[in-house]
Structure 1
């Protein structure tokens, strides 16, 4: 792994297993028993698919190949639309914000994109005409970008047009293709949750939950109870006229210029003050149920999500809690940025990796689990072979 924070933790956890793993930096090996824990681009999926058919080789890798139905925001929104058409009573209707998809290659085509997303267009028009008691806000997200890139909160079509026009004009002067917004075609627009859970002990700063979800083989899914609460830098203000990004955006990477310390921005959910045990337990049960429902639907959608019997993957799922303690799924990320946890809570990531090694990797290679006294653990929420 290229991130030293993550790489050092993985190495130290594997080295705990009494020489069961021989660690090297090569992305190829002729051995019959190999664990590949690499960046996605470094994995040889042709070899991995061949190894899955070879009973004499045990190759285990840290990523599935096809999982865009989970990770790309537009693909996931389409999956939810399809799933709800078949299962209208699914909990995803209540726990996934209203979402619209915009296919937009240039600001000149925004009218056409909104004609396709006509329900969104009508709400934006109502916001202008003041036919609603209070304008309904939406948040724009690029389908394939992460780290809070290009997040934008708006109420009207005019605001959206201004955003895209400014961004495209800036990109005309930017030769960096990697950061060029004109390369992004798919966008999602979600109804913005205006009543987030706020805790006075933390100055009523908005926060979201980063939950680590582990999928293995074909297919079991676990939720890790070492959950992070990621806070905004400033107290939440639901004021249309004085929008401040640092009040609304809770991603750690967006807090670079924050005057607050790491310990104020990243906390462990189960130790948050201002929440009693019953509320915490209820929130965790909602999270597990939502994750189970997502994979219940995805496991049969092989064009957009294909588990592999010789692979596992760790995802970072983001959730928001509202003032009524209802949980909303926001998005999933592969190769989550573990270093956002910081140094003071690095034990959460170490124990995550230890759980993965104990419960998933060692059994795959026929080794018994070693006796680890871990405070945090993985909770099985979905097993394709049986009902949980």
Structure 2
């Protein structure tokens, strides 16, 4: 019997996710040999079957292409066309232009992508963003209830970092001005810390570098992370790619009365999370047991006053907990934030007859959307990596797809 090896080093939420992956692999491949990502581990012969499951940046695609029949990776070379917001928007737009009958045409909201380093260049960056600029100009003459709201997303960020809502050009400019001020404050803090280090006695420098320099770096990083989690701010000069999409009024569900949490009675926004397995070149599997991820607070329509997009330097970061369904942003315990999709009637007020019809429609649309999404990505980028199955046929990717709030 052929021995199979696996190099497993899941870096994101490692303590939680990696044991689950190991358990699944051992369940289906009892004779699997697990390897540790250790520099001292000798390389395996190229003829040995090897599954590598690690972060995208750590994958050696050259080795994969050199040994396509014995190596299996957990990501496609082209995966950034799926996971980076500005790449994905550009890919969908390019594919729909060539394939106007694609399901993707009506499955994604109107959006624009633009690139900006500093707020003074914002007007120049939006020269070709016609839909956005025209909408913001119309909003200037409307009351808040009649405005068309937009959602801003940094292209390279994740976990809800940098997401903002806006309805006027002034609000959009205020967002970037706020980020720029945060960046300047962080730079000043770093300069002060460097100056403090320079003032240390020379006879303590070597000892301090040996004993606590690493701890200092960790403390600074922790402080930055805590600030980022609180403000969800960004450094625009580092994340200069942005996507702005029309904020679609959500479909809301009202929780059933809960004696353990009687205050949780208001309608809440949610989105569906679907788990997808993409294998070889190209088979797509959609996991039927989807999740519904809910916002932490009762939904309230966006408004300039509540979102603090008013250019006030003293304003706190906007509270988007009624609008964002990212569970990573929800500190503390939130009962009912994640519900199995098929169990929604147990926890929310929904007409059962309507739900059965809704489930059936949603399931079919879900499959078409996911299939169209992968088809669109491959159709646009295949010229960059070739179409030979021996080159891309041994790659596998498990990912989650958020298909929008209802």
Alignment partner of 2:124 out of 101, 112, 117: 112
Partner of 2:254: 199
CA RMSD of aligned residues (A): 2.3
Corresponding position of 1:296: 375
Structure 1 gaps of 5+ residues are 323-388
Q: CA deviation at 1:239?
A: 4.1
2:343 to 271, 276, 299: 271
Which residue does 2:21 correspond to in 1?
10
70, 89, 96: which is aligned to 1:84?
A: 96
Report the CA distance between 1:68 and its aligned residue. 2.2
Count of aligned residue pairs for this structure pair: 315
Tell me by how many angstroms 1:74 deviates: 1.1
Deviations 1:241-278 (A, max 9, x none): 43441110110011115x523xx111111111126222
1:35 matched to 2:51: yes
Matched, 1:140 2:152: yes
Which residue is 1:25 aligned to? Answer: 36
Q: Shift in Å at residue 280 of structure 1?
A: 1.3
SS in 2 for 1:288: helix
- Give SS of 1:246's match: coil
Q: 3-state DSSP class of the match of 1:283?
A: helix
Q: Which has the higher helix share?
A: 2
Summarize the alignment of residues 1-388 of structure 1 with structure 2, pairs less than 5 Å apart: 1-2=10-11, 3-17=14-28, 19-26=30-37, 28-30=43-45, 32-52=48-68, 57-130=69-142, 134-175=146-187, 180-201=235-256, 203-240=266-303, 241-243=305-307, 244-257=319-332, 260-261=334-335, 264-273=336-345, 274=350, 276-301=355-380, 302=382, 308-322=392-406
- Does the C-alpha gap of structure 1 residues 116 and 18 become closer, same or farther in structure 2, counting only changes over 3 Å? closer
Deviation at residue 140 of structure 1 after TM alignment:
0.2
How far off is 1:59 after superposition? 1.1
Larger radius of gyration: 2
Instruction: Determine the C-alpha separation between the residues in 1 that align with 2:372 and 2:25.
Output: 32
Q: Is the 8 A contact 1:174 1:180 kept in 2?
A: no
Superimposed CA distance per residue, residues 183-230 of structure 1 (whole angstroms, 9 cap, x where no aligned partner): 011100000011323234363111111111111111111111121111
Any idea what SS the aligned residue of 2:173 has?
helix
**Contact 1:67–1:305 under 8 Å retained in 2:** no
Distance 1:18 1:35, change over 3 A: closer
Between the aligned partners of 2:62 and 2:21, the Cα distance in structure 1 is: 25
**Alignment gaps of 5+ in structure 2:** 1-9, 188-220, 226-233, 257-264, 308-318
* Cα 1:8–1:133 shift into 2, 3 Å: closer
Please say if residues 208 and 230 of structure 1, whose CA atoms lie closer than 8 Å, have aligned partners that are also in contact. Answer: yes
TM-score of the superposed pair, with normalisation by structure 2: 0.72
Cα distance, 1:88 vs structure 2? 2.3
Contact 1:69 1:305 in 2 (8 A): no
Find the counterpart in structure 1 of residue 203 from structure 2. Answer: none
Shift of 1:308: 1.8
- Kept in 2: contact 1:233–1:247 (CA 8 A): yes
Give the stretch that moved more between structures: 149-158 or 299-308: 299-308
TM-fit CA distance, 1:320: 2.4
TM-score by length of 1: 0.76
